[in-house]
């Protein structure tokens, strides 16, 4: 029996793999959910920064560190880079008013290309990958196999989503970040400096990218231009989620992951159609529910 | 002699090329309520924006308890003890009532005081501010400003768009804050509410001060009220 052209025995597998893939997509998008979703910074360089995280993870792994440990250790460094990047963006673009937004977008595209070329100059164009016990082996449950690398990404995504949701709702700075996203001027009336709060939040978003980058290279080999496919996917997840919602990001990641996985396994469609899924979903959501699934 | 809590001294302000405040001068004594009145477009909200620093004055001087604040950013002026309840309330809609209050906390904890003033807010601490009624949002906006322990409280049309019963409640709250010694500038279209509460009155007309003095003198001056406020 087939449902929508896909044999019914493949459906379960497609959905299970889609859940794992979806959590991975949520993990790579959650930083953007903070920087674009909450702070309105059109950070198209987010995937490129993540690839830098992948390469840094590779470099540390090459010196004997576990990739996950490397990703965690890189977070504070990336936090500082994020703070500096935001300060530069703010001083050069944001401060000059709303019409600077498009130029800001061009700025982040520029940053993405510089990163890409920089990575090629340092590491070359070859793919890089890491090895660890949990890479290459699978958890076997009956006739189904779940790659451990995907389970690791799944776990990290859940931890990241949970931690960020908690941070934004339970800490003073977290609440201020949500407040600055909603009404910057009103927050200034409370004596808070919005620029300082936003640079802190952008730092967190960038710090999270380091760990997401580690996940990326755990899940599969990376190469310098890989950020391009992730621009579509990450923006799709963040907009689908409803800008700035962390649980929404997890849900949207799952939707994209499952949809892509079904397309991947579908006999009439296959891998070449997978990249179209993100943009099709984005178009459908924008026309039906522009504020996203969990929109503010 | 009473201490001067807030003073505007010859304030000129411009939006781009349009000159909206012309040498505006008035002052508020500590513990008093000053009502800032005028028709739509008279420059009342612009005055608030000048005091809090969103629209820095081009000329003149603004003092908070004797300290000049004219060159400071809005957040720095807020930290000097100026609290603004903005027009349109502007609560953070997806934050809960409690989160809205806590994010504004500065200095001595006022949470219990705010909940005592507005028991309705205490019943709704975990509710998102966006789902509150207009009156409750106004209470939240006032409570949020109080969380910062302001030495001068500016209220921009707190009765705007509210049902008469709620307006009366807002009025009682302002009276109580005044009794507690809070210095308040009250911007109002509701002239009756303003005269009930104010010690002093400043009336603006097209960006100029048409009258500044004791509320009692303005209340009985019918020609002044008809000319500049066009009510009663």
SS (H, E, C) B9-28: EEEEEEECCEEEEEEEEEEE
Can you give the CATH number for the domain in which A9 is found? Answer: 1.10.3470
Q: Which residue has the tokens 């009765």?
A: B159
The DSSP 8-state label assigned to residue B200 in this structure reads E
The answer on pLDDT for A243 being more than 80 is: no
What was the pLDDT predicted at B28?
94
Helix (H, G, I), strand (E, B) or coil at A70: helix
Angle between helices A100-123 and A67-92 (to 10 degrees): 140
| B106 interfaces chain A, CB cutoff of 8 Å | yes
Q: How many CA atoms, within 13 angstroms, populate the side-chain half-sphere of residue A205?
A: 34
* CA dihedral for B157, B160, B162, B163, sign (positive or negative): positive
- In angstroms, the Cα distances linking A152 to A27, A82, A257, B37 are 11, 25, 16, 64
Report CA A190 to chain centroid distance, whole Å.
Answer: 32
More confident residue, B152 or A135: B152
Q: Does B132 or A268 have the greater pLDDT score?
A: B132
- Interface contact A190-B78, CB threshold 8 A: yes
- In a domain? residue A199: yes
Distance in angstroms (rounded) separating the CA atoms of residues A180 and A193: 9
Q: What's the token pair of residue A235? A: 């923006």
Interface residue A169 vs chain B (CB under 8 A): yes
Is the residue at A237 inside a domain? yes
Q: Is A103 helix (H, G, I), strand (E, B) or coil?
A: helix
Which among B78, B91, B95 is the nearest to A191, CB-wise?
B78
The token pair at B198 is 């104010």
As a whole number of angstroms, the distance between CA B165 and CA B187 comes to: 19
Q: What is the pLDDT of residue A296?
A: 56
Is residue A294, in this structure, part of any structural domain at all? no
Per-residue pLDDT of chain B (232 residues), as tens digits, is: 578 999 999 999 988 888 889 999 999 999 999 999 988 888 899 999 999 999 989 999 999 999 999 889 999 999 999 999 998 889 998 889 999 999 888 888 889 999 999 999 999 999 999 999 999 999 999 999 999 999 999 999 999 888 999 999 999 999 999 999 999 999 998 888 899 999 999 999 889 998 898 988 888 887 888 888 875 4
Distance (Å, whole) CA A33 – CA A47? 12
Q: What is the mean pLDDT of residues A93-121?
A: 86
State whether residue A182 sits within 8 Å of chain B by CB.
yes
Q: For the sheet containing B59-64, what is the strand order?
A: B18-29, B4-15, B59-64, B67-68
Residue A296 inside a domain? The answer is no
Asked if B92 lies within 8 A of A179 by C-beta distance, the reply is: yes
A191: which chain B residues are within 8 Å (Cβ-Cβ)?
A: 75-76, 78-79, 106, 148
Q: Where are the domains of chain B?
A: 4-81+151-228, 95-149
Give the pLDDT confidence score for residue A98 in this predicted structure: 64
- Cβ neighbours of B154 in A, within 8 Å: none
Superfamily of domain B4-81+151-228: P-loop containing nucleotide triphosphate hydrolases (3.40.50.300)
Is A176 in the B-facing interface, judged by CB distances under 8 Å? yes
Phi, psi of A230 (to 5 degrees): -85, -15
pLDDT of amino acid B232: 45
List chain B residues with CB under 8 Å of A179.
92, 95, 100, 103
pLDDT tens string A221-236 = 999 999 888 988 898 8
Question: Is residue A280 over pLDDT 70?
Answer: yes
Please check whether residue A293 is in contact with residue A33, taking contact to mean a CB–CB distance below 8 angstroms.
no
- pLDDT of residue A4 exceeding 80, the answer is no
Q: Is the pLDDT of residue A100 over 70?
A: no
| Residues of chain B contacting residue A182, judged by C-beta atoms under 8 Å apart | 92-95
| Contact residues for A12 (Cβ-Cβ < 8 A; gap 6+) | A144
Q: What's the full length of chain B, in residues?
A: 232
Mean per-residue pLDDT for A149-167?
Answer: 89
Alpha carbon distance, N-terminus to C-terminus of chain B: 34
Cβ atoms of B200 and B213 within 8 Å: the answer is yes
Query: What is d(CA A60, CA A176) in angstroms, rounded to the nearest whole number?
Result: 35
**Residue A10: band (very low, low, confident or very high) from pLDDT cuts 50, 70, 90:** confident
Residue A206's pLDDT band (cuts 50, 70, 90): very high
Strands (DSSP E) found in A119-253: 138-141, 144-147
Contacts of A1 (CB under 8 A, 6+ apart): A7, A8
Give the C-alpha separation, A73 to A63, whole Å. Answer: 14
- B109 has a chain A CB within 8 A of its CB: no
Q: Is A62 part of the contact surface with chain B (CB cutoff 8 Å)? A: no
How far apart CA B221 and CA A89 sit, in angstroms, is 56
Mean pLDDT score across all residues of chain A: 88
Distance, in Å, from the CA atom of A199 to the CA atom of A41, rounded to the nearest integer, reads: 11
Scan for tokens 């977008």, then name that residue: A105
Among A165, A168, A180, A191, the strongest candidate for a mutation testing the B interface, having the largest count of B CBs within 10 A, is A191
Query: Is the CB of residue A96 less than 8 Å away from at least one CB of chain B?
Result: no
Query: For B197, which DSSP code?
Result: H
Q: What would the two tokens of residue B137 be?
A: 């949002």
Q: Which residue has the higher pLDDT, B152 or A295?
A: B152
Residue A74: its pLDDT value, please? Answer: 96
Is the Cβ of B72 closer than 8 Å to some Cβ of chain A?
Answer: no
The two three-digit tokens of residue A187, written as one number: 């927050």
Cα dist. A189→A169, B89, B97 in Å? 21, 12, 17
Q: Do A186 and B75 touch (CB under 8 A)?
A: no
> Crossing angle for the helix pair A46-62 and A227-241, nearest 10 degrees?
120
- Domain assignment present for residue A295? The answer is no
Which residues, in sequence order, are CB contacts of A237 under 8 Å at separation 6+? A25, A26, A29, A32, A33, A249, A252, A253, A256
- Asked if the C-beta of A172 comes within 8 angstroms of chain B's C-beta atoms, the answer is yes
Rounded to the nearest angstrom, the minimum Cα separation between A178 and chain B is 8
């Amino acid at each position: 029996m087939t449902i929508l052209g896909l044999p019914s025995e493949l459906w379960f597998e497609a959905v299970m793999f889609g859940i794992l893939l979806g959590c991975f997509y949520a993990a790579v998008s959650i930083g953007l959910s903070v920087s674009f979703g909450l702070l309105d910074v059109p950070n198209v360089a987010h995937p490129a920064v993540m690839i830098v995280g992948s390469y840094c993870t590779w470099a540390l792994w090459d010196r004997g560190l576990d990739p996950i440990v490397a990703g965690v250790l890189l977070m504070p460094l990336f936090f500082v880079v994020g703070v500096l990047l935001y300060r530069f963006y703010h001083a050069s673009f944001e401060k000059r008013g709303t019409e600077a937004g498009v130029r800001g977008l061009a700025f982040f595209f520029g940053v993405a290309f510089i990163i890409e070329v920089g990575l090629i100059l340092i590491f070359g164009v070859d793919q890089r990958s890491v090895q660890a016990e949990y890479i290459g082996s699978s958890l076997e449950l009956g006739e189904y196999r779940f790659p451990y690398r995907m389970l690791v990404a799944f776990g990290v995504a859940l931890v990241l989503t949970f931690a960020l949701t908690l941070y934004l709702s339970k800490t003073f700075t977290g609440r201020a970040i949500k407040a600055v996203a909603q009404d910057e001027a009103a927050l200034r009336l409370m004596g808070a400096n919005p620029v300082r709060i936003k640079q802190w939040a952008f730092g967190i978003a960038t710090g999270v990218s380091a760990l997401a980058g580690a996940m990326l290279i755990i899940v599969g080999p990376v190469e310098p231009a890989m950020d391009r496919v992730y621009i579509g996917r990450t923006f799709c997840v963040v907009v689908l989620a409803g800008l700035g919602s962390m649980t929404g990001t997890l849900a949207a990641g799952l939707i994209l992951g499952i949809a892509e996985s079904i397309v991947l396994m579908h006999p009439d469609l296959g891998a070449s159609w997978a990249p179209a899924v993100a943009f099709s979903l984005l178009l459908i959501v924008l026309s039906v529910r522009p504020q996203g699934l969990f929109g503010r | 002699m009473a201490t001067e809590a807030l003073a505007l001294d010859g304030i000129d302000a411009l939006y781009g090329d349009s000159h909206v405040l012309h040498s505006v001068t008035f002052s508020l004594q500590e513990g008093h309520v000053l009502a800032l009145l005028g028709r739509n477009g008279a420059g009342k909200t612009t005055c608030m924006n000048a005091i809090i620093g969103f629209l820095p004055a081009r000329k003149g001087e603004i003092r908070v308890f004797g300290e000049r604040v004219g060159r400071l950013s809005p957040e720095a002026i807020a930290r000097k003890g100026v609290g603004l309840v903005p027009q349109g309330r502007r609560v953070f809609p997806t934050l809960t009532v409690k989160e809205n209050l806590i994010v504004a906390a500065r200095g001595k904890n006022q949470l219990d005081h705010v909940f005592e003033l507005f028991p309705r807010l205490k019943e709704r601490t975990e509710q998102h501010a966006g789902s509150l009624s207009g009156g409750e949002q106004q209470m939240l906006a006032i409570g949020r400003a109080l969380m910062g322990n302001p030495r001068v409280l500016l209220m921009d049309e707190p009765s705007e768009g509210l049902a008469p019963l709620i307006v009366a409640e807002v009025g009682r709250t302002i009276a109580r804050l005044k009794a507690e010694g809070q210095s308040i500038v009250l911007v109002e279209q509701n002239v009756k509410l303003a005269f009930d509460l104010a010690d002093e009155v400043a009336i603006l007309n097209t960006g100029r001060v048409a009258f500044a003095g004791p509320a009692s003198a303005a209340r009985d001056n019918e020609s002044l009220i008809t000319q500049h406020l066009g009510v009663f």
